[in-house]
Structure 1
Amino acid sequence: MTAVSDLFYVSSEGDVLDEVVAGHYGDTRDGKVEAVLAANPGLAALGAVLSAGVRITLPDLSTSTPVETEQLWG
């Protein structure tokens, strides 16, 4: 792996997308790989092993789940 920023990753020869995703997000669960593929049209067509210089958008996957509350008084 080479350069990582908050928004993009530039691949090194032989990088694999699953490893890039795990390195950035900590794991590949909960649709993270699919989210990265959705943010990068055409990335899947490049194959499993990436060549050097592929710029990959790493979307912000932090989501806040709204918590349902009830008013107890008044």
Structure 2
Amino acid sequence: MGFNPRDAIESVKDIATNAVERSADIVDSAGHILKGDVSAGVEGIVSSSMHIATHAADKIKEIATGRGEDFDEID
């Protein structure tokens, strides 16, 4: 299956939506840091950042290959 521009646009929208949702979690974690709970705040920021990056990488892989999550499986 080749590159489909319509699917690519939907994937980019999904990446942006996920990033905005997770950025709210990052702001919440920054609040924990300001309240003195540095460990939990940093953990939350790192976790949310990693989730954003992983989700974006997975979606970009789907765009580039035209395949879903079964990319690693051999048919």
TM-score range, shorter chain: under 0.3
TM-score, normalized by length of structure 1? 0.21
Structure with greater strand percent:
1
More helix by share: 2
